[in-house]
Each structure stands twice: as C-alpha cells, then as structure tokens.
C-alpha cells in the first residue's frame, strides 16, 4: 500500500488496516523466531563466517543489537517451550516480556507463568518475576556523584571507586542508612552543587512513578520490583534535596534510629499523597454536609468539594472515556470534564461531570464541536442546550 493510498483511507479503513498490519508483523516475527531457533540449533551461522548467532543477526540480517538480543532469547525459549510461539502469534505476549521471563521458566511453571504474563505491561511482568524469584533487600546507600568530565573519559580509578551512578548494594564501611559525611560530606556537596545518588528499598502495593531527574545530564530514575512487596529505587537528587534528607534523618532519630532513607521516603510520600488528594479531590476524613443554600447559588464553573469526591470515587480515579476497544486506563493528568460544556449550559453537577485524562478531555472538546455529536449526546443524557 502506497502513501497516497493510505491518505485516501477512511477512519474505519485506517483502523482496520493498522490492526491487520500489526497481526501480519506478529506472524512474520513468529516465523523469524522459529527460523532463528532452528538455525541456532544447527549452528549454521558458523558457515556464514559469524562466530555467534548474535553476530549473524547484527551483521548479516542487519538487526539492531536490541532487536537481535530479544529475538535470540525468545527463539531459544520457543525451542524449549513451543507454546511461546502460539502466544506471540495471538499478540498476548511481547518479545520483551518473553525475554524477561526466560530465565525463570521451568517445565513445571512455564504454562502458569506465561498465562499470567498475557497482555501485561513490562512493569507488571517485572513484578511477576519478583514474585517468582524474590531478591534480598539492598542496603541503603547515598553517595555523592562525581563532577562531570567534559574533556577526558572516566579514568579506571573513577570506575573502581564507583563515581557517578553507583550500583545499589555496593560494599563499604558505612552502616546501613548512613548519609553524608562518612561518604562525601554534606557541606562539600552543598558547596559544589553536586547531586547525590540514592539507593533505597521501598515497599508498597504497586510500583512508584519514576520521577524526573534534576538535570538532563543524569540518568533517568529506575524503579524495579525485587520481591512481591519490595521495590528498588535508584535516582539522583540535588544537593538541596540531600540536605533535606539529612535534616529529616536528624529529626526522625527517635523513631528511625538508623536513618533508613527508605523509611523516610515512605513517610514523606504518605504526607505528599495525602496533601495532593486533599487539594485535587477534596479528600477528607470528616466531609461537611452540603447545604441547600449552596445549590441555590448562581451557576458556576467551580466544582464543590463534595462533587469532586463523588465523581472521583465513582470513576475510581481513572479516565472514564470509553472507546471502541474499551475504557481508557490512564490514571495520571486527570481532569474534571463537563460532559455538556459549561458554556453550552452544562451543569457543574455529578451527573454532568466525569474524569478524563488530558488527551481525552481535549478529544471530547473537539467532538462536541460537531453539531450532530453534541445534539445526540445532550439528548442522551437529558440536557437541552
């Protein structure tokens, strides 16, 4: 299909063609995996002048290193468990997730593990792996990040001392949870403006969001599940944030004697989430009763606290837009959406409010501009514009 032909497709035809192309790609990938598995078994890459299947994939097939690695891993997994190819062909499992699962699959658990990974995200599969093979807690460490070198590459000495983003669990003389002078010195860090790399173990019902780094020169934050209720958090903080952590450790010595950063982060996040919920959805333990006088006020865009709480609870803190393939799963950047716009007579009431992510809020605003759509929706919910 040419580009010109694609431009001529209707919306329905474009969606159908895209689904067909995705299915065709999956079938091609499964065929390639089966071929690679057999080629690997026969070691035919040696006769092609390649010392390994990886070299053959990158130099002869011209796959990227990332693509070659995942296809080789899954091809070998499929040789051991052929059912993997069937699941991949149906689009129920991605190559990335299959490659992640490979080291943990056995003859006894592979059917259950593969079934549990169907239609799951990478983060969800990482959690599944943490349940299959829990890792021990990493000792909390805070190290000062070495200043960036612009003219020369990192020296072997810097490599051996762990300058930069230090791997979690590095050995050292400092006790667990120690932050500051025994490592680099808080005063020195504050004076130079250098950041500190934090390695801590957090616990909770689900993975934490990866927060943006304080500077583009730092690697992105990493949050990886290590056990069913444990997560490894590795990120870089500024000297100012490091000083706040030190102060929090001092103020909490009576309840957290070892100054464990993971325990402090847990308390800080508890307070932050409570503050945000009160500001965003007016969450409170003792909500005030709504008064009739408030209902008599002139129409306003302002959403009362009781209405915000009701709408948030009804929509379960998730975008409530329902498309042809189901409901949106977004839980971030949520906004209170007037189903019938306020400017067109829509009321600021529970019946006319719903949660939308930022993208679907704008999308529905555009759809409302279509007269046929707005008239149909207004009539369906009993509102005359």
Q: Are 25 and 124 members of one domain?
A: yes
Q: Are 117 and 192 contained in the same domain?
A: no
From residue 355, give the alpha-carbon distance in Å to each of 217, 277, 281: 36, 15, 11
pLDDT at 105: 92
Which band of pLDDT confidence, cut at 50, 70 and 90, is reported for residue 380? low
Q: Return the SS3 of 150.
A: coil
pTM: 0.58
Same-domain status, 29 and 121: yes
Quote the tokens at residue 20.
């067909």
Same domain? For 321 and 232 the reply is no
The mean per-residue pLDDT over the stretch 91-110 comes to 93
Neighbours of 147 (CB within 10 A): 11
Q: What pLDDT score was predicted for residue 22?
A: 93
Contact, 137 vs 226, CB < 8 A?
yes
With 0-12 CB in 10 A as exposed, 13-18 as middle and 19+ as buried, what is 122? exposed
Question: Cα separation of 170 and 166, whole Å?
Answer: 7
pLDDT at 103: 92
Whether the predicted pLDDT of 30 surpasses 60: yes
pLDDT band at 101 (very low <50, low <70, confident <90, very high): very high
pLDDT average, residue stretch 85-95: 93
End-to-end CA distance of the chain: 44
Q: Is the pLDDT of residue 213 over 60?
A: no
Q: Does 233 fall in a domain?
A: yes
Q: Which residues contact 304 (CB under 8 A, 6 or more apart)?
A: 290, 294, 348
Cα(182)–Cα(327) distance, rounded to whole angstroms? 52
* Average pLDDT of the segment spanning 176-181: 44
Q: Residue 71: its pLDDT value, please?
A: 94
pLDDT of residue 135: 82
In a domain, 150, yes or no: no
Last residue of a domain, one of 97, 132, 167: 132
Cβ distance 75 to 33 under 8 Å? yes
Residue 352: other Cβ atoms inside 10 A: 19
Give the mean pLDDT of 116-131. 90
Q: Is residue 75 part of a domain?
A: yes
Q: How many residues belong to the chain?
A: 385
Question: Closest Cα partner for 88 from 73, 107, 109, 66?
Answer: 73
- DSSP letter string over 200-243? EEEE-SSPPP-PPPSSTTSPPPEEEEEETTEEEEEEEE-HHHHH
Task: For residues 352-378, give the mean pLDDT.
Answer: 80
Average pLDDT over residues 359-382: 73
* H/E run at residue 378: helix 371-380
Same-domain check for residues 307 and 275: no
pLDDT at 157: 42
Residues 34 and 125 in one domain: yes
In a domain, 155, yes or no: no
- Domain identity same for 266 and 211: yes
pLDDT confidence tier of residue 38, bands split at 50, 70 and 90: very high
Question: What is the chain's mean pLDDT, rounded?
Answer: 78
Q: Report yes or no on 39 lying in a domain.
A: yes
In a domain, 153, yes or no: no
Same domain, 307 and 227: no
* 165 is a domain residue: no
Residues 317 and 356 in one domain: yes
Same domain, 260 and 368: no
- pLDDT at residue 376 greater than cutoff 90: no
Residue 283: helix, strand or coil by DSSP?
Answer: coil
| Residue environment code for 155-184, b if the CB has 16+ CB neighbours within 10 A, otherwise e | eeeeeeebbbbbebeeeeeeeebbbbeebb
Number of other CB atoms surrounding residue 248 within 10 Å: 17
Q: Are 141 and 170 in contact (CB under 8 A)?
A: yes
Identify the pLDDT of residue 170: 36
- Give the gyration radius of the chain's Cα atoms: 27
Residue 50's pLDDT band (cuts 50, 70, 90)? confident
Structural domain for 369, as ranges: 299-380
Average pLDDT score over residue span 275-287 = 81
3-state helix, strand, coil in the chain (%, to 5): 50, 10, 40
Would you state the torsion angle of the CA atoms of residues 214, 219, 220, 221, taken in this order, to the nearest 10 degrees? -90
Q: Which of 219, 244, 279 is the last residue of a domain?
A: 279
Q: What is the pLDDT of residues 219-252, one digit of tens each?
A: 677 788 888 888 888 888 888 988 999 999 888 8
What's the pLDDT at 168?
A: 39
The predicted structure's pLDDT at residue 182: 37
Q: Domain count of the chain? A: 3
> What number is the average pLDDT over the span 193-197?
55
Output the pLDDT for position 356: 93
pLDDT at residue number 104: 92
> Does a structural domain hold residue 171?
no
CA dist., res. 195 & res. 210, Å (int): 17
Residue 154 has pLDDT above 50, yes or no: no
357 three-state secondary structure: strand
CA-nearest of 363, 361, 342 to 352 is 342
Give yes or no: residues 264 and 318 share one domain: no
| Shared-domain flag, residues 307 and 228 | no
Which residues on adjacent β-strands are paired with residue 323? 326
Residue from 92, 99, 108, 107 nearest 129 by CA: 99
- H/E stretch holding 138 reads none
Residue 35 predicted with pLDDT over 90: yes
pLDDT at position 369 is 78
């Amino acid at each position: 299909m040419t580009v010109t032909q694609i431009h001529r497709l209707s919306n329905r035809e474009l969606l159908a063609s895209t689904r067909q192309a995705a299915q065709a790609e999956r079938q091609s990938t499964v065929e390639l995996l089966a071929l690679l598995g057999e080629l690997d078994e026969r070691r035919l890459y040696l006769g092609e002048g390649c010392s390994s299947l990886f070299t053959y994939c990158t130099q002869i097939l011209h796959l990227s290193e990332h693509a070659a690695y995942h296809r080789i891993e899954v091809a070998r997994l499929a040789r051991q468990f052929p059912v993997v190819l069937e699941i991949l062909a149906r689009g129920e499992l991605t190559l990335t997730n299959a490659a992640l699962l490979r080291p943990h699959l056995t003859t006894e658990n592979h059917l259950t593990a593969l079934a549990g990974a169907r239609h799951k995200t990478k983060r969800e599969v990482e959690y599944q792996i943490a349940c299959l093979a829990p890792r021990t807690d990493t000792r909390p460490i805070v190290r000062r990040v070495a200043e960036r070198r612009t003219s020369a590459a990192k020296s072997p000495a810097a490599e051996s001392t762990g300058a930069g983003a230090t791997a979690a669990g590095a050995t050292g003389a400092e006790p667990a949870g120690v932050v500051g002078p025994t490592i680099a010195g808080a005063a020195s860090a504050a004076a130079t403006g250098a950041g500190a790399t934090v390695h801590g173990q957090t616990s909770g019902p689900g993975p934490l969001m990866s927060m943006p780094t304080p500077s583009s020169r730092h690697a992105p934050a990493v949050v990886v599940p290590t056990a069913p209720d444990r997560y490894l958090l590795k990120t870089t903080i500024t000297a100012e944030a490091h000083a706040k952590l030190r102060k929090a450790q001092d103020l909490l010595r009576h309840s957290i004697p070892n100054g464990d950063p993971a325990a402090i982060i847990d308390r800080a996040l508890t307070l932050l989430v409570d503050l945000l919920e009160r500001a965003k959805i007016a969450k409170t333990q003792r909500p005030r009763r709504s008064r009739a006088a408030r209902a008599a006020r002139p129409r306003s865009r302002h959403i009362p606290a009781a209405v915000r709480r009701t709408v948030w609870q009804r929509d379960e803190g998730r975008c409530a837009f329902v498309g042809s393939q189901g409901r949106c799963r977004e839980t971030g950047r949520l906004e209170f959406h007037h189903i019938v716009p306020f400017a067109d007579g829509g009321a600021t009431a529970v019946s006319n409010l719903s949660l939308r992510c930022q993208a679907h809020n704008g999308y529905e605003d555009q759809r409302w501009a279509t007269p046929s759509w707005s008239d149909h929706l207004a009539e369906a919910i009993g509102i005359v514009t």
